[in-house]
Amino acid sequence: MKENLTDIICIGAQKSSTSWLHHVINAHPKVQAFENNKYTSTNKEAHFWDWNYHRGIDWYKDLMKVDEGKLSIDFTPEYALVDEARVRECKEYSPSAKIIYVLREPVCRAISALRMFILRDDKDENFTLEYGDYFLEAVRKSRITRHSEYFKNYSTWKQYYDDILVINYEDIRKNGSEVVDNLYKYLNLDFKEMNGVMREEFSRRMQKKVWKSTEFEISRDCKMFLEGMLYRNRNYFESAFGFTFEEHKDLFAQKKRRRSRRKKV
């Protein structure tokens, strides 16, 4: 009998290249993603431990069935937000699952999440997000505060899973190959099991951007609000996880650079 209902679980963070990591891991012949259906988000996010929990464990068992010798995989960033009772139950069904948590500088993650959320309102790249009621409502509805509580989220899962792999999103951007090498070792996946065709597909996936939010303009006031809201989180996470975040340092220079390029044209 298979030990784990789910062998590989990624709990977030949202907008931290989890789709890309799923795409790359799923290139290995030992890993098998579930089939997309109307209750899931593509073949990546099963959402069982959050919004599909009411469907019952048998529904999840059917979804996560894999061929003999394969590893099941569920990358649902919202799992970072589930309560201790759900994590404890997850541990019961997947006692030796590998848990992955990707952390991104919280202000830049929030901006990317807002862009994704606001796209649902059919905004295009010419839209500018200004500070006001619409912005504040988007911050609330996209749960920026809750998604930014990395250490709280990590600690809930850490109570039940000792060996959680924490990845800095910026390391993916700087040296994705090294991150994937370490990730494959953590997951006990061997590159030697990939034939020529599989390696070509793996290389193609390594170069692909799976999801990128439309980068409409966000006003300085909105960025300043998010900076004031989240800078303490950033400082604490750097200390708690031993990370150094750099992505936010160009945050307030980007608009100026875009304007200068327009003038040159």
**pLDDT 10s digits, 1-18:** 799 999 999 999 999 999
What is the rounded CA–CA span in Å between residue 254 and residue 259?
9
Please list the residues that pair with 103 across neighbouring strands.
Answer: 168
- The structure's pTM equals 0.91
Least trusted range by pLDDT, from 38-52, 66-80, 92-106, 117-131: 117-131
Instruction: Indicate whether 136 pLDDT > 70.
Output: yes
Neighbours of 93 (CB within 10 A): 16
What is the rounded CA–CA span in Å between residue 21 and residue 258?
30
Report the amino acid identity of residue 189. Answer: L
Domain parsing of the chain, residue ranges? 8-264
Express each pLDDT in 197-236 by its tens digit: 999 999 998 887 765 666 788 999 999 999 999 999 999 9
Which CATH architecture does the domain made up of 8-264 adopt? 3-Layer(aba) Sandwich (3.40)
User: What does DSSP assign to residue 37?
Assistant: -
Identify the H or E element spanning 99. Answer: strand 98-103
Q: Report how far apart, in Å, the C-alpha atoms of 159 and of each of 34, 44, 74, 75, 91 are.
A: 27, 25, 20, 20, 10
pLDDT of residue 103: 97
What is the rounded CA–CA span in Å between residue 228 and residue 214?
24
pLDDT of residue 260: 40
pLDDT band for position 20 (cuts 50, 70, 90) = very high
Please list the residues that pair with 117 across neighbouring strands.
Answer: none
Task: For residue 108, give the nearest of 230, 1, 259, 238 by alpha carbon.
Answer: 230
Task: For residue 7, give the nearest of 84, 64, 58 by alpha carbon.
Answer: 64
What is the rounded CA–CA span in Å between residue 16 and residue 186?
19
Neighbours of 221 (CB within 10 A): 13
What is the rounded CA–CA span in Å between residue 166 and residue 139?
25
pLDDT of residue 138: 95
Instruction: Indicate whether 192 pLDDT > 90.
Output: yes
Q: Strand, coil or helix: what is 164?
A: strand
> What number of CA atoms fall less than 13 Å from residue 13's CA on the CB side?
29
